Amino acid sequence: MTDLTPYFTRSDGAYVFARWGRPIVPVVFGVDDATLSVFKGAIEAVVVLANHKMDEVDTELGANLMVFFCRDWAELTEVPHLDRLVPDLAPLVARLQQADANQYRIFRFDDHGGIKAAFVFLRLDAHLDQVPADTLALSQAVQVIVLWSDLAFTDTPPLALIDGKAVLRPEVADVIRAAYDPVMPLAARDPAHALRLAARVQRPM
């Protein structure tokens, strides 16, 4: 049986898994309509893969998956009310600037441990500027559909290029499908969860 624990074992050694416990309602800031359409299409494709749902509005938050594009991290401090959604926004911006990061994700969880909101921040530096919109969109959609380990894709990215087009790696798609099996829990901190996932993955990895 394939060992899936590395997908959800964090750099501190803790096993932490979570999936969405409510329909996903995405909104994208800082891009044109064409890019917005690409992002929403990618999110929808991954949600369909997971056999999960999207909706027009989240009753608690309005939108629960927020994607922000910027050229400079300092722009985030100028977004109205963002500091209410993201605690300690100013220190976070300072850390991102110091690390010269180009992306960052924050998750919020419900009382059952499931994902109830995610915030994706993308700084269009020289590297991200070269990434096609559909590739960037699919990559981000995959990385918010479940709570992966911070090390999950260090060695192998979740996407592969086939005939010049970015596609989701089959083994990653299988893990997502298994994670959203109705009999699987919304959240888990016991590595035995990975054994249950592996039992539902049909494809040899």
Question: In this structure, which amino acid lies at residue 92?
Answer: L
pTM of the model: 0.92
**How deeply is 109 buried, as exposed, middle or buried, from its count of CB atoms within 10 A (0-12, 13-18, 19+)?**
middle
Runs of H (alpha helix) within the chain: 33-49, 82-85, 89-99, 126-129, 133-145, 170-179, 192-200
Over residues 143-169, the pLDDT tens digits come to 999 999 999 999 899 999 888 788 999
Q: Round to whole Å and give the CA distance between 82 and 72.
A: 16
**The tokens of 136 are what?**
């960037």
DSSP secondary structure letter of residue 184 = S
Helix (H, G, I), strand (E, B) or coil at 9: strand
Over residues 17-75, the pLDDT tens digits come to 999 999 999 999 988 888 889 999 999 999 999 999 999 999 888 999 999 999 999 99
**CB–CB of 96/121 below 8 Å?**
yes
Q: How many residues does the chain have?
A: 205
**The tokens of 146 are what?**
């479940």
Strands 26-29 and 65-70, sheet pairing: parallel
